[in-house]
Amino acid sequence: MMHGVAQALPRDPLLKVENLVVEYAVGAKTIHAVSDVSLEIARGETLGLVGESGCGKSTLGRAILQLRPADSGRVVFDGCELTALRGEALRKMRRRIQLIFQDPIASLNPRRQIGDIVAEPLAIAGHRDDKKRQALVEEMLGAVGLDPAIVTGRLPHEFSGGQCQRISIARALVLNPEFIVCDEPVSALDVSIRAQILNLLEEMKARFGLTLLFIAHDLAVVKAVSDRVAVMYLGRFCEVGPSEQLFANPAHPYTALLIEAIPVPDPDVRPAERVRVGEPPSPIAPPSGCRFRTRCVRADKRCSEEVPELREIAPNRHVACHHPLM
């Protein structure tokens, strides 16, 4: 079994990622952003991808979309290998896969009107009929809860963060894609707005039959929207499983640590001591064996010598740990 395989539920997989490796050169050194990661996402599924900042979540999402080509490995979407496509062939395939950016305001051109921003993917895809294009833009803006008659002629700075994110979602949906990478779509929003955007994403998923890769570091958000959750640490998967099971009974010490880090409004409740004192390791020089071992109180000699493989410990539950909690 491969070191980072996220097994799919028993449904038709829309996306397959096989042994993906993404590295960045920093002078004479190399940042190991994504290391031998594989996953499957079934049609209609939402896979939540969670982990600390810098663990490789966004890099993995961008590599899937070929915004940052992988150094090795394969990405297969609906039977077509994206990593083998170039030029016009890749451009046509991208109509079926879209991205919702982390910063909704920065992702919108400040000099263009909202109607033009949402219509741009249609223009790039070759939709020449202005009336049909306008009708699609108005339909998508209405679908995300915005009045086309009011917003199409305005500029991004005239809207709140939540409204800008709705516009970004409309832009992602206007080509009627099948798969969307949501790169921390609510992290830049106020707490009061997050629930609205999450509910909107769930509504759009049901309405348009979408498949989602939902990237976040907020565990409460991931739990609310995901069918399955993949936990990532320093470029590798630690644990993969159904959302409710994973949160109720984590199998990897790192997963348990993330869950225990969720604040509890009680001064007498103290987190369990599962982490050793010290700085997290650098992706430039990741630890040998298990990458979490330098912070894990359960680590032993085997953890430093042998890379733990992602193995099934219960139906649809997989963990990469020599000493799992279950």
Please check whether residue 325 lies inside any domain of the structure.
no
Q: What is the DSSP string of 258-284?
A: HHHTS--S-TT------B-SSPPPPTT
Task: Give the range of the structural domain holding residue 255, as residue numbers without chain letter.
Answer: 5-319
Pairwise CA distance, residues 267 & 324, whole Å: 29
| Burial of 130 per CB tally in 10 Å (0-12, 13-18, 19+) | exposed
Phi, psi of 93 (to 5 degrees): -70, -30
Residue 108: what pLDDT?
A: 95
DSSP β-bridge partners for residue 72: 21
pLDDT of residue 276: 58
| Residue 167 CA: distances (Å) to CA of 75, 89, 91, 184, 247 | 28, 27, 22, 16, 32
**Tokens 């590295």 identify what position?**
23
Predicted local distance difference test score (pLDDT) of residue 272: 59
326 part of a folded domain: no
Please report whether residue 140 resides in a domain.
yes
Residue 71 lies inside a defined structural domain of this protein = yes
**Number of domains present in the structure of the chain:** 1
What pTM was computed for the model? 0.90
User: 257 in a domain, yes or no?
Assistant: yes
Q: What is the DSSP letter of 119?
A: H
Q: How many CA atoms lie within 13 A of 176 on its CB side?
A: 3
* Residue 324 located in a structural domain: no
> What per-residue confidence (pLDDT) applies to 100?
94
Q: Which of 316, 251, 308 is nearest to 8 (CA)?
A: 316
Instruction: Provide the residue type at 278 as one letter.
Output: G
Residue 15 lies in a domain: yes
The pair of structure tokens assigned to 166 is 């709705």
CATH number of domain containing 108: 3.40.50.300
Report the distance separating Cα 23 and Cα 41, nearest Å.
23
pLDDT per residue as tens, the chain (326 positions): 344 444 444 457 899 999 999 999 988 899 999 999 999 999 999 999 999 888 999 999 999 999 998 999 999 999 999 999 998 899 899 899 999 998 888 999 999 999 999 999 999 888 888 899 999 999 999 999 999 999 999 999 999 989 999 999 999 999 999 999 999 998 878 888 888 889 999 999 999 999 999 999 888 889 889 999 999 999 999 999 999 999 999 999 999 988 887 777 777 766 655 555 557 788 999 999 999 999 898 999 999 999 999 999 998 899 999 999 98
